């Protein structure tokens, strides 16, 4: 061995440090690793301090705490502090900087993947076109050819990259909830709710938590229409400082089935039939109703599914529910059962079926467009998060089992307690990167939120993660920016498809000493499950209270207004009319007999069938009689936002009173509504300085919440008792078939209408009844004399707030 005095310091064991395999029995401590070299100096420092860190933990001191009585109290993991930051590094070169790897100053204990989405936003302003490797593209119009008319050269890597990426731009769509729309926003807690939960987002008044919310239909494919009759998903991802919490719910508080074992059967039944791939995004076919008629636990959900709840006016105007019974757990370990409710400030409103069916063709993106436009206009949608809480002792006294997802807790039994508000204030920058790639999982909860033993929920805890792994290419879907939490991620998970994290160091296990025991378990500060004591035999089955399939279906029916009941009957009639197998229709009718005779008779009449005997009950327990619940009716949830965001069509034609139109337009706009001029063709309106904004063809009746027919500025002359415009080349609206049909559909869909002065001629031309079927004056069909627009508009806005004039409905319609 060389004399240290000759080479500037001891070098014993230097070769082992410069190698990666084996070494002496005692740790080498040379003073240098050869000629002066700053990286070598760091390697030496790394190895020496790494050994010291490992030696500081001769054994796992916390191992005994995993057993016996000690295991009931979560413990904080054992840690040691390294003498040098290099001790826990994976390489001695981590301080080497470059524009790609960074500035060479690693932030210990930091995970930059949880930063704001600004880090992954891209803008091309002022930039030249490049390949995915950053090579500038000279010609993006033509492939590389051998001569102008020759074959394409295989070496054209620019063409190949472009086509290859295009070929792979689609990922597998969701099996369910494929059709969706989403937005960013925040949740703000009203108060300190730490008495009921240790979830930090509810721990102080005014605390704001970022959220990403996705709304969706269930049955349809990604390209299906928004307005089909279906359940709507209402999924909220809270980016809390304790990690991500996904409250994955629906706009209906109950579900079709009671156990996750049946979920594949339900979805197979409602999806397009496998032999012919029809129908798309619809339950009106034999396989669904065959399954439904043999699964009586579905009855309560069918009442909601055939009600107007299944055709919401807007994502902004529908409730949301957690569906299942969850637990809230506070810092002291006390637990309450809970049900989550989202209540829209705009009220809970719906479409009518004929309108929804027409919208599917006129604007299949109707709900997506509505959400986007409202947010872009600064009319941010808002919901209030409320919770029903009750103890296990209270739950035991209910006439239903709170673990049964086909049951709800009536608000008259347990009131909803407001917790905070949700505001959506930013649209996604990229639909695919955010709305399509967002991954919601029922298993994503934070401390203070826990599960119940609901057998459907227990299956969802597994299913959501499993399907995201398949859909998004592997177990690292949490590293996609929209899914990454704001809370730091630190664990020993490594590798896998599309891994983004460059984990520092060589340790990927726990317990360890080579990384100072890090990352270490958090003990009581981490997530702990509620220690519910259980003693039971393994069994496949359900509690007897689950066998009550009709009492809450009857509750829902009895809580609906006469209008809503008629809509339910009409929906059953439509759905079952499309069913071709008479035996299936009879089974459905037999189940409805157990809900209400009026319901069964109304549906049977619509099908030309006799009411069959009732289906046998699955239990000898008596059907519980609930008092009706006004909270279950849409009529009890008008909202507080008035006419904000409601769309109003002003029908214009040559000769219209331009001054009056502008006054109406400004007044509606000031009230928060969205008025637009609708005419035969877009562009300048002959004879005036007005511009038609949208045509009858592009903006059909269904997309408007109400309509106004303004007065004319010129005079009418009567020719054969027909009004005739004196404007050269002008046409009257009542001579335009599109305008007449527009008004008839507005009336048929129960929309408010206002006609001023000679605008009433269109009402007469359309043949609209001025009185309701009972002879009363129609409050939503307002005809005002010339000059009375101010008071008439006030009446119109009052009707607009009510959304629809259901009292004019008849079956079949009068117009």
- Which residues are the active-site residues? 177, 250
| Bridge partner list, 676 | 649
Q: In 653-772, which residue ranges form alpha helices assigned H by DSSP?
A: 658-670, 737-748, 760-766
Judge contact between 353 and 158, C-beta under 8 A.
no
Q: For residue 499, what are the CA distances in angstroms to 101, 474, 493?
A: 16, 9, 10
Phi, psi of 362 (to 5 degrees): -70, -40
The Cα 341–Cα 466 span in angstroms is 27
Cis bond upstream, residue 278 (ω within 30)? no
Q: Which residue has the tokens 């005014």?
A: 206
> Which residues, in sequence order, are CB contacts of 345 under 8 Å at separation 6+?
381, 382, 383, 384, 639, 640, 641
The Cα 572–Cα 122 span in angstroms is 49
Q: Which of 530, 401, 393, 411 is nearest to 454 (CA)?
A: 401
Q: In this structure, what is the dihedral angle of CA atoms 197, 199, 201, 207, given to the nearest 10 degrees?
A: 60
**DSSP per residue over 718-741, as a string?**
EETTEEEE-STT---GGG-HHHHH
The Cα 578–Cα 572 span in angstroms is 10
* Furthest-apart CA atoms within the chain: distance in Å: 125
23-38 in b/e form (b: 16+ CB < 10 A) is: eeeebbebebbeeeee
**CA angle, 616 then 621 then 624, to 5°:** 100
Q: Which of 178, 569, 225, 570 is nearest to 366 (CA)?
A: 225
625: three-class secondary structure by DSSP: coil
The Cα 812–Cα 815 span in angstroms is 9
Judge contact between 679 and 625, C-beta under 8 A.
no
The Cα 108–Cα 503 span in angstroms is 11
**DSSP per residue over 402-454, as a string?**
TT-TT----TTTSPPEEEEEEEEEE--S-IIIIIIT----TT---TTEEE---
Q: Which residue has the tokens 């009220």?
A: 347
Q: How far apart are the first and last CA of the chain?
A: 107
């Amino acid at each position: 061995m060389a004399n240290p005095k000759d080479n500037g310091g001891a070098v014993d064991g230097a070769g082992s440090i410069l190698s990666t395999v084996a070494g002496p029995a005692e740790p080498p401590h040379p003073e240098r690793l050869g000629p002066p070299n700053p990286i070598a100096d760091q390697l030496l420092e790394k190895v020496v301090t790494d050994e010291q860190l490992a030696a500081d933990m001769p054994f796992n001191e916390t191992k005994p705490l995993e057993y016996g009585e000690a295991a009931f109290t979560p413990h904080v993991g054992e840690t040691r502090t390294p003498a040098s930051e290099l001790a826990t590094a994976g390489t001695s070169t981590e301080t080497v900087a470059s524009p790609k790897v960074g500035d060479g100053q690693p932030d210990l204990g930091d995970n930059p993947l949880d930063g704001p989405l600004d880090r992954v936003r891209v803008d091309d302003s002022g930039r030249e076109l490049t390949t995915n490797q950053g090579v500038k593209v000279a010609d993006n119009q033509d492939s590389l050819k051998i001569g102008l008319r020759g074959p394409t050269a295989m070496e054209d890597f620019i063409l190949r990259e472009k086509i290859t990426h295009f070929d792979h731009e689609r990922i597998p769509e969701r099996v369910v909830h494929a059709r969706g729309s989403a937005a960013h926003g925040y949740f703000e807690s009203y108060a300190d709710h730490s008495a009921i939960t240790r979830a930090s987002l509810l721990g102080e008044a005014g605390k704001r938590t970022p959220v990403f919310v996705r709304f969706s239909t269930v049955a349809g494919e990604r390209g299906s229409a928004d307005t089909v009759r279906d359940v709507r998903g209402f999924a909220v991802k809270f980016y809390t400082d304790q990690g991500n919490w996904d409250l994955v719910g629906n706009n209906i508080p109950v579900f079709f089935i009671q156990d996750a074992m049946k979920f594949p059967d339900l979805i197979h039944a409602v999806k397009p039939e496998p032999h012919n791939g029809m129908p798309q995004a619809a339950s009106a076919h034999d396989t669904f109703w065959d399954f439904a008629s043999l699964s009586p636990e579905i009855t309560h959900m069918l009442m909601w599914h055939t009600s107007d709840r299944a055709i919401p006016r807007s994502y902004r105007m529908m409730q949301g529910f957690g569906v299942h019974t969850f637990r809230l757990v506070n810092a002291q370990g006390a637990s309450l059962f809970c049900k989550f409710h989202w209540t829209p400030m705009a009220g809970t409103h719906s479409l009518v079926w004929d309108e929804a069916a027409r919208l599917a063709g006129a604007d299949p993106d109707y709900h997506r467009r509505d959400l986007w436009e409202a947010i872009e206009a600064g009319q941010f949608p808002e919901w209030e998060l409320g919770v029903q809480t009750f103890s296990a002792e209270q739950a035991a006294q209910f006439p239903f089992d709170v673990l049964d997802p086909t049951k709800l807790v009536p608000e008259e039994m347990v009131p909803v307690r407001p917790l905070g508000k949700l505001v959506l204030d930013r649209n996604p920058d990229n639909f695919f990167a955010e709305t399509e790639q967002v991954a919601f999982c029922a298993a994503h909860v934070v401390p203070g939120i826990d599960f119940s033993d609901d057998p459907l929920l227990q299956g969802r805890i597994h299913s959501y993660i499993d399907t995201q792994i398949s859909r998004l290419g592997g177990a690292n879907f949490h590293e996609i920016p929209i899914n990454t939490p704001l809370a730091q991620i630190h664990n020993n998970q490594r590798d896998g498809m599309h891994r983004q994290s460059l984990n520092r160091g060589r340790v990927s296990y726990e317990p360890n000493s080579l990384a100072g025991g890090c990352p270490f378990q958090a003990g009581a500060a981490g997530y702990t499950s509620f220690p519910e004591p259980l003693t039971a035999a393994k069994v496949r089955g359900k509690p007897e209270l689950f066998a009550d399939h009709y009492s809450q279906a009857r509750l829902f029916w009895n809580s609906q207004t006469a209008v809503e009941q008629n809509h339910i009957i009409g929906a059953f009639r439509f759905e079952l009319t499309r069913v071709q197998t008479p035996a299936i229709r009879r089974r459905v009718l037999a189940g409805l007999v157990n809900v209400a005779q009026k319901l069964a008779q109304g549906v049977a009449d619509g099908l030309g069938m006799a009411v069959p005997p009732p289906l046998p009950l699955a239990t000898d327990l008596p059907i519980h009689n609930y008092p009706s619940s006004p909270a279950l009716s849409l009529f009890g949830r008008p909202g507080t936002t008035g006419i904000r965001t409601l769309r109003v069509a002003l029908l214009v034609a040559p000769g219209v009173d331009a001054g009056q139109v502008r006054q109406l337009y400004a007044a509606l706009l000031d009230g928060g509504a969205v008025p637009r001029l609708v005419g035969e063709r877009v562009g300048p309106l002959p004879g005036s300085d007005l511009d038609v904004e949208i045509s009858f063809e592009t903006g059909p009746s269904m997309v408007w919440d109400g309509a106004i027919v303004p007065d004319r500025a010129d005079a009418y002359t009567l020719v054969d008792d027909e009004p005739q415009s004196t404007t050269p080349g002008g046409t009257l609206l009542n001579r335009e078939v599109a305008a007449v049909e527009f008004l008839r559909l507005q009336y048929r869909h129960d929309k408010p209408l206002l006609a001023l002065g000679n605008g009433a001629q269109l009402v007469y031309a359309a043949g609209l009844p001025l009185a309701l079927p009972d002879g009363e004056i129609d409050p939503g069909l307002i005809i005002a004399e010339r000059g009375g627009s101010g008071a008439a508009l006030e009446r119109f806005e009052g009707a607009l707030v009510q959304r629809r004039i259901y009292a004019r409905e008849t079956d079949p319609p009068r117009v």
